[in-house]
Amino acid sequence: MPDTLKLVLVLAVLGGAVYGGVWTLAHVPPEQTEIVKSLPTEKLRVR
């Protein structure tokens, strides 16, 4: 019986960690950054 209790506790801790991670990813907004890339002059030429 103690082995079953350990298994249930380990699964509960792992499930709580997964649930917490998913909740965090769903509720914390990502940082907004601006991405600026310069284009090479070869790509600007029209042939």
Burial of 37 from C-beta contacts in 10 A (0-12 / 13-18 / 19+): exposed
Query: What does the pLDDT read at residue 37?
Result: 87
- Give the three-state DSSP class for 36: coil
1-47 pLDDT tens trace: 789 999 999 999 999 999 999 999 999 988 899 999 888 877 776 65
Residue 2 corresponds to which tokens in the numbers above? 């103690």
Rounded-to-integer distance, Cα 47 and Cα 35, Å = 28
Query: What does the pLDDT read at residue 47?
Result: 59
Reported pTM: 0.59
